[in-house]
Chain A
Amino acid sequence: MIKAESITKCFGRKVALDRVSLTLDDGHIFGLVGTNGAGKSTFLRVLTGILKADSGNAFLNGQGVYENPSAKQQICYVSDEPAFVTGATLSDMDHFQAAYYAAHDSARLRELCEFFSLPMNERISSFSKGTQKRAQIVLALSRHPRLLLCDETFDGLDPVMRESFKRVLGEVMLDEQMTTILAGHSLQEMENICDSVGFLHEGKLLTSGDMDHILSRFCKVQVVLENGEPNALLNGLTVISDRRQGRLSILTVRADEAEVQERLKAASPQYLEAIPLSLEEVFILEMEEQGYAK
């Protein structure tokens, strides 16, 4: 179980993380969505034990992570900027990881390199960016980590690679009960693959929870009423937007879909249909509420 307890981190005067708390059960995929500069990388680094939080702590199965080698053995951070040992090939990195990580599996590394068609004896610095990302993933997975943190990893992969990655991820999750945190902007992918999600904005974790729960916080309906105003029926609920096209009203409400439908049905509408919102739309709505760029 991964737990972040009120983590605060500042760089000089800039507050990168502001009392971020999160609890994750094993074997889940969590999506960390955030605007640019929201603090995603910083948060992941604190969870990995790379950075020390100014206050608060990160825990893996009850053990604090910072300066804890046994915990760090089980955590793997795939950075948004590929960083390898200078001038190393994948073969060199194999030796490097074998030297430091007890769980490193050279055979698995070779297997994955073949699967992702990565040459083992060429300098990684000569690879393209996308290929470097693949190399990162391969090195990460060959360590059999309990916790995998991917920082904008999806975003750098082409669609074919993305599929391969998802397949491998699925396998590993089943076999090893690995927990994954995916941080990034690619919300469509995240919606499909993540069990739970959290929104990070300017260092604060605005909301987090199961995908369903998050998606159900808003709903969008199209309604035509013969008489009466839809708004009146939705008294007490927060109506985010209300567009009219002739007699058709398109309402976005911060409420459960069932509740909204029930209220509107009471007025016997001529037409009523709910439009499911995607994660991307929900995210944008949340951000707009926070006043982040319209």
Chain B
Amino acid sequence: MQNKKRSVFYMARRHAVLALVMFAAAFFMVPFHALTVFDTVRGAIRAADADSAANPYWTRNITAMVSNIVEAGFNQEILTFGFAGLGFFSAVILFKHLFSRKQALMIASLPLRRQTDFLERVAVYFLTGLLPAALGLLLYPLIALAGGLAPYMTGKIAVQILMLLMIHLYGFTLGAFCASITGQVWACAAGALFLGGGFEFAANCWQRVAWHYLYTMPVEVVMPIIRRWSPAFSLYKALRQPELFSPLAGIVCTAVFVVLAYLAYTRRAAEGAEHPIAIKALEMPLSVIVSLFAGSITGYIFMTFFGKEAALLIAAAGGAVVGWIMVQLAFTLDFRQAFRRLPAGFACGVLLLICVFGFRFDIFGYERYAPDPQKLTAVTVQSGNVMGGNENYTLKQPDTKAAACTLAGMLRDAATGRRVYHDPVYPEMNLTFTSGHGEVRRAYAGGASSAEMHGMTAWQAAVNTLLNSDEYRQGRIQTGCLDEYLAALDTDAAGNIYIYGWEQIYGSGGNGWESYKTASGRQNDAFNYRNTDQIRKVIESLKAAIQRRTLSSLQQDPVFVIHISGRINNVYKDSSFAVYPDDYELLRALGGEELIEMAGLLSGGFAEVTDCAVYRVSFDASVTDLIEGKICSPQKWMRASTKDEAKEWIRASIKTNDADIYYYPAVGNEEIWIFDLNDQSEQIPGNLDPDTDLVQLVMEQQELWYWPAKRFVSKAR
């Protein structure tokens, strides 16, 4: 044992420079960078007056800046890659004898068991790699303390420091494993890149191939899997938000790498140094892996670049074969040898082609799946909502389950033959079906145009069933954490929950939130309730409003959006809710009668009290064209004769951009054009004759095309 300690400390002394580098790197990436941030923070603290100091949001901001290393240091990507890179670098330094034949043989002659040697190197890593980095990082809280920022420091700092060290360790074990199975530095680095992110990358490529063929596949199939299972990704996410993301995958992976590195190091032949792969038995499996990987990447690149199926097939097979040959070349350094094992390379290419065809011919029947509502225990719906986020709710009742299955069928039929992703005109709806054995079947994605969906009565009927269900309403309340906020209000100070509003309709300036703010004398967008009672009242009326709304309420344009955020069990949560003109109680709770009146104004009532001209304009283009924003010319138009009529027209219309929301009503090929006659913008001609045909004017003068606020007219009302 005495001898072992001596050799560990000897090796540690030899790597003193490494320790210095680690310390300096950690220091420059975090505490040093934070110095400037702390300066700003201290300046803000000094400049703060009683008002801001009492504002809990201000405190929270400062705390967020001080207690989040990712905010105060370099950004999340640089920190993740940087620390992983430092760990990898340590591994290469500590195992560099594996890359030189002379050194490898010399180390092999030492009176040291392989396992002891390995453990000693790991110990030296802790001494000269991890410990100095930790010390460098610890300067961060020390500097913060020295700067008098103690009140703004939370335990998150410690957690994030641990996360950075964990990332460092991950990089090291990855490097140790790759070094143990290779004998050349480039092979080691290539291996590390592949193991670090290669699978995720290849999975993404195959995701896109799948999308190319499976029209009902949701946008995010691979990403959630990556988020949960990818070690590197889990560490990356957990660094910034350790309270939300678990680094478990990363930790497990690190442990696995250590074990694998140990096994490889103890079994490796000393003469393996200076060969790309040191363990002969691994050459075949690695060749296969690289070949498949190369084919996947090339296939994806060619498919994206050329957009043709032929390109994908040729590139995938070709990439596999070329990748195979190159790997063999790297192993044997002999041209002829590289070609001798070619049949296996062809086999890899064929395997990739089989995978592509598997998607093409949908051999697993992904697209043909027709859910049977009676056999399902639940259907989970995830779809777009007014604020651009997602609504999530679970259906267990027979009628809602049946409606969901109907929708699924219609989505599937409409999507056949269409390639659609990430196009805002086409709504996205994911349905996940759970059967009796707890088995989760696939999710569906939308792929038809909203116009088509809106036109189908069957679609509307099914959507109506869903949106009128208690499950939908409960789902909104649950995802919005409203009950939790109410419970938290009993224990926490009111300062913990914030309600924001912002304008939603009619663009900036003139009408809208800004005018309400001016009228009510509010300074900022926060309702800024100090009073627990007030907040409670708002949340309770919101709950009531959600539970009372029907499809027709949801089909109005919201007046504005409120944003509720707070800490529940020390976890930060936030959610947004639209407020509709019909939600009188909620409006009253938020701003009294004054706000109800303002809502009425905002949703069309302003036509009665302001100077505006309202036209109904019809086009000969289809609804689809209009929704997709194709350029069309007005055919006929008429002006509202009375202010009442104008108000009605406006109330009966919805915003173009939101036409893709799945519960919006069927729309027609008419638009409402509203001209603010008091508009002072430069391009708008002043002193117009009140009877001027403004639509005609807009058509003649292209620069006026942006003057009117446009709307679709809803047909079914």
Residues of A within 8 A of B (CB): 11, 45, 48-52, 67, 69-73, 77, 79, 81, 83-86, 95-96, 98-102
Contacts and interface: CB of A to CB of B under 8 A. Distances in A.
5 contacts: A11-B271, A72-B109, A72-B112, A99-B11, A101-B111
Contacts of B114: 67
Nearest to B107: A50
A96 to B, nearest CB: 7
B105 A79 contact: yes
A72 B111 contact: yes
A77 B111 contact: no
Interface in B261-275: 269-271
Contact of A83 (B11, B106, B112): B106
A142 to B, nearest CB: 15
B555 to A, nearest CB: 75
B394 interface: no
Interface string B235-273: 000000000000000000000000000000000011100
B105 A73 contact: no
B103 interface: yes
User: Which 7 A-B pairs give the minimum distances between C-beta atoms?
Assistant: A99-B10, A72-B111, A69-B111, A83-B102, A50-B108, A73-B111, A83-B106
A182 B292 CA distance: 51
Contacts of B11: 99
B277 to A, nearest CB: 13
A99 B111 contact: no
Point out which of B6, B111, B270 has the most chain A C-beta atoms below 10 A from its C-beta: B111
Interface of B: 3, 6-7, 9-11, 14, 102-103, 105-106, 108-114, 116, 269-271
B128 to A, nearest CB: 16
A101 B110 CA distance: 8
A51 B106 contact: no
A99 B114 CA distance: 17
Given A69-B112, A83-B105, 5 more contacts: A50-B109, A51-B270, A67-B114, A96-B10, A99-B7
A77 B271 contact: no
A9 B511 CA distance: 88
Nearest to A16: B271
B119 to A, nearest CB: 13
B631 to A, nearest CB: 70
A50 B270 contact: yes
A79 B60 CA distance: 67
B101 to A, nearest CB: 9
B266 to A, nearest CB: 9
Nearest to A92: B14
B219 to A, nearest CB: 50
Contacts of A83: 102-103, 105-106
A187 to B, nearest CB: 27
A90 to B, nearest CB: 16
Contacts of A85: 14, 106
A77 B110 CA distance: 10
B97 to A, nearest CB: 9
A50 B105 contact: yes
Contact of A52 (B7, B110, B269): B269
A48 B105 CA distance: 10
A40 to B, nearest CB: 15
Nearest to B110: A100
A81 B102 contact: yes
A50 B114 CA distance: 11
Nearest to B269: A52
A83 B104 CA distance: 10
Contacts of B110: 72, 100
A51 B273 CA distance: 12
B10 A95 contact: yes
A100 B3 contact: yes
Contacts of A70: 111
Contacts of B6: 98-100
Contacts of B14: 85
Contacts of B270: 50-52
Contacts of B116: 69
A48 B109 contact: yes
A100 B11 CA distance: 10
Point out which of A45, A48, A50, A95 has the most chain B C-beta atoms below 10 A from its C-beta: A50
Nearest to A82: B102
B3 A77 contact: no
A285 B524 CA distance: 104
Point out which of A11, A67, A96, A99 has the most chain B C-beta atoms below 10 A from its C-beta: A99
B112 A100 contact: yes
A233 to B, nearest CB: 53
A73 B112 CA distance: 9
B111 A51 contact: no
A35 B637 CA distance: 104
Contacts of A98: 6
A51 B271 contact: yes
B331 to A, nearest CB: 11
A70 to B, nearest CB: 7
Nearest to B102: A83
Given A51-B108, A72-B111, A95-B10, A102 B271 contact: no
Nearest to A9: B271
Nearest to A50: B108
A69 B116 CA distance: 10
A139 B85 CA distance: 38
Contacts of A11: 271
Contacts of A86: 103
A72 to B, nearest CB: 4
A48 B111 CA distance: 10
A105 B102 CA distance: 25
Contact of A77 (B109, B112, B113): B109
B269 A69 contact: no
Contacts of B112: 69, 72, 100
B11 to A, nearest CB: 8
Nearest to A101: B111
Contacts of B7: 99-100
A136 to B, nearest CB: 11
A27 B259 CA distance: 44
Contacts of B102: 81, 83
B222 to A, nearest CB: 41
B105 A45 contact: yes
Contacts of B111: 69-73, 100-101
B336 to A, nearest CB: 14
A98 B3 CA distance: 9
A112 B109 CA distance: 22
Nearest to B14: A85
A77 B106 CA distance: 9
A86 B102 CA distance: 11
A196 to B, nearest CB: 25
Contacts of A71: 111
A199 B110 CA distance: 28
Contacts of B109: 48-50, 72, 77
Nearest to B109: A50
Contacts of A51: 108, 269-271
Contacts of B108: 49-51
Contacts of A81: 102
A99 B116 CA distance: 14
Contacts of A96: 10
A51 B105 CA distance: 8
B422 to A, nearest CB: 52
A252 to B, nearest CB: 41
A216 to B, nearest CB: 37
